[in-house]
Amino acid sequence: MDRLALTLIELGAVVFALGLLARLAGRIGMSPIPLYLVGGLLFGAGGVIDLGGVRDFAHLAGEIGVILLLLMLGLEYTAQELVTGLRRSWQAGVMDLVLNFLPGMAVALLLGWGGVGALVMGGVTYISSSGIVAKVITDLGRLGNRETPTILAILVFEDLAMAVYLPILTAVLAGVSFLMGLQTMGISLVVVTLVLLIALRHGHHVSKAVHSENSEVFLLNVLGLALLVAGIASALQVSAAVGAFMLGIAISGTTAHTASRILEPLRDLFAAIFFVAFGLNTDPATIPPVLGWAVLLAVVTAATKVATGWWAAARAGVAVPGRARAGAALIARGEFSIVIAGLAVTSGAVNDELAALATAYVLLMAVVGPLAARFVEPIVKALRGARSRKPAQAKVRF
């Protein structure tokens, strides 16, 4: 069969299968990310069928998916909201960073993956999935809850931390010198600061430059500018994903809302292909040896996320049920964790076991997170009810 025909058939089958998986995930009330990863595992290297014809396309589409994920995430925030969120949540953010970065680092060092592997796994276990968390909060009708601003503030801090972390990780994976790494981080910080200043003072000019009443022109303007900024950021040794994120922050008002609406289908398509592409490059045979470590990391980092959300919500004066909801909402890991692992695997600086561990870990957390968020409140209420019904212990007098 002609190679082009075979590639089109394989690509069509993959995209159609993604639709079926997304429908299944919606019916059972979970994120489709774990199903996309499993699909990639089944049809990649070492899987049931090796769809090698779509591998090159999946790689490029996956890169576009990362850019769109980060662009859409940036569109959710204004520069003022980022600054305010950072001011209010920095203590909880630092606690979140310490408690959730260290477990991944520790496991990587125990497995002998060295400093680079430790830096990668720390990022994998640290960052919550903004997409899954936002969807869970919306689906459960908790947007107006008292703990929701606390959750969003922590997510904002994590996003800002990623703006610093990703350039450092990119420099380390490229094997540059320590001095070059500091230079890269400095450039990143300058770019982030500059974009925030532009967004705060001149964001309406950026929005005006891409805005159009014609949806076709609007789409081409926003998508083209996002790819252009991501490419320039990459050329400056700043992560392309960070460049897209900062562009999203610079676009504000009704323009940001319209851009989110127009780009959403594209983001969902390319992001789905990104998760499948990651699974395609992971051999399922490498997962069983690291499954125990993935379960251990899942248990530990679920507890640390709950502790972070509980403490932050308590500081905001939220009652016990709200503290539990805040902690459970932060458990899910997803797109960012896979982005970090994908950068590491693509660079060739880490071994295949890290990709397997990251895949197994994200599969667990992307399933456990929404379930924990859904059932934590009934469990807490049941425990409090049982405690209140417990008869007081009689005092013994001597």
Q: Residue holding tokens 């007098």? A: 397
Domain 55-377 of CATH type 1.20.1530.20: yes
Per mean pLDDT, which range of 85-89, 106-110, 225-229 is the poorest? 85-89
pLDDT score for 82: 66
Buried b (16+ CB within 10 A) or exposed e, 246-258: bbbbbbbeebbeb
- Name the one residue in this structure whose structure tokens are 């592997």: 117
The Cα–Cα gap between 44 and 263 comes to 28
For residue 380, pLDDT over 70 is answered with yes
Rg of the chain over CA atoms, in angstroms?
22
Largest CA distance in the chain: 94
| Burial class of residue 304 in the structure, from the number of CB atoms within 10 Å of its CB (0-12 exposed, 13-18 middle, 19+ buried) | buried
User: What is the average per-residue pLDDT within 74-87?
Assistant: 70
Which is nearest to 74 in space by CA: 267, 236, 231?
Answer: 267
pTM for this entry: 0.72
pLDDT band, very low/low/confident/very high, at 398 (cuts 50, 70, 90): very low
Q: How many CA atoms within 13 Å lie on the side-chain side of 187?
A: 21
DSSP 145: S
Distances from the Cα of 55 to the Cαs of 59, 206, 283, 284, in angstroms?
6, 36, 14, 17
What are the residue boundaries of the structural domains of the chain, listed by start?
55-377
* CA-wise closest residue to 162 among 274, 66, 37: 66
Write down how long the chain is. 398
Residue given tokens 């408690």 in the structure block:
99
What's the sign of the alpha-carbon dihedral 305, 311, 312, 313?
A: positive
Percentage of the chain surpassing pLDDT 70? Answer: 84
HSE-up of residue 233 (Cα within 13 Å, Cβ side) = 28
Highest mean pLDDT among 237-241, 246-250, 294-298: 294-298
- For the cut 70, the answer to whether the pLDDT of residue 104 exceeds it is yes
Question: Is the model's pLDDT at 8 over the cut of 80?
Answer: yes
Instruction: Record the tokens describing residue 195, joined without a space.
Output: 């974009």
Query: What is the structure's pLDDT at 45?
Result: 62
